[in-house]
Structure formats: structure tokens, C-alpha cells
Amino acid sequence: MNGGRIFVGLMVVGVVGYGGWWVVDFAGSFSGVEEELEVREPAVVIVDENAGNAVSERVKELVMRLEDDLAYEGYEISRVVMPFARTRQIDVYLDGRGEYYKVSVDRGAAESAEDIGRMVRYLDERELSVQYVDIRVTRKAFYK
């Protein structure tokens, strides 16, 4: 022996994501463990203004996650509209509210729900009545 030490360790990393848990073994290879996802439809009706095109699974999943995340914030979605000629946007209407929220389908549902909650509180604190709130841009909100 040359007096040197060799360290061999086992590193296990768990990452929560839409695909399940991923495990990294000491050799650096990946193995995925898929989770069983609950298969359900959104509770709210999604209105498609684009001549009845089929609502994608991605949009349905986003709406389901928004329903759950907004329920956590204390709000309930009354309807969702896919506006005409807007492929990356949905308009979210809340029960008991006059305004709607423009949401990007490219943002996470939790982030969008949090922004909606903040804007509802902001509008209520200032007693503002607006037509819509655009939260498609991260860390920004625009209202009219």
C-alpha cells in the first residue's frame, strides 16, 4: 500500500418532480421510479374559444393543479377560458370575483396561484375594481 486512502461512498439523491423520484447511485447512473398519478378531469369547465379545438392534456393538468393550489389559498375557480388566438394563455375566473386572471400555461400552477392570491388581497386592500389582472410574467402583475 502506498499510504493513500480511497474513499468510496454511496450518494442517494431524491428529487420530487412530475416524473417521480430519481435515484443516483455511486456510479452516477440514474434510475427512475414512476409515481402513480391520480387520473381525473378538472372540476371546472374549460371553455375553448378557438372553434372547439380539443383541450390539451397539458392545459387540463394545469387547471387541475390550479384548482388544488387556489383551494389552498382559499379561492375556487368558477370557469376557465382559452381565449381566441392565444395558444399559451388561459383566463381564470374565481367565484365571487368580477375580474379574471390571465395565466401563462408555461408557468407553474403553484406560482400562478400564489400570484393570484397576492393580487386578490392587493385589490381588496385598496378597494380596486378591475376588469382583469395579467400575471403571465414572473414577479409582475398588470391590471386594467
Q: CA 71, CA 65: separation in Å to the nearest integer?
A: 10
**Contact between 97 and 130 (Cβ < 8 Å):** no
**Contact between 134 and 143 (Cβ < 8 Å):** yes
- Nearest Cα neighbor of 103 from 53, 67, 52 is 67
pLDDT at 7 over 70: no
pTM for this one?
0.70
Give the pLDDT score at 47.
85
For CA atoms 17, 20, 25, 30, give the dihedral sign: negative
Give the pLDDT score at 34.
52
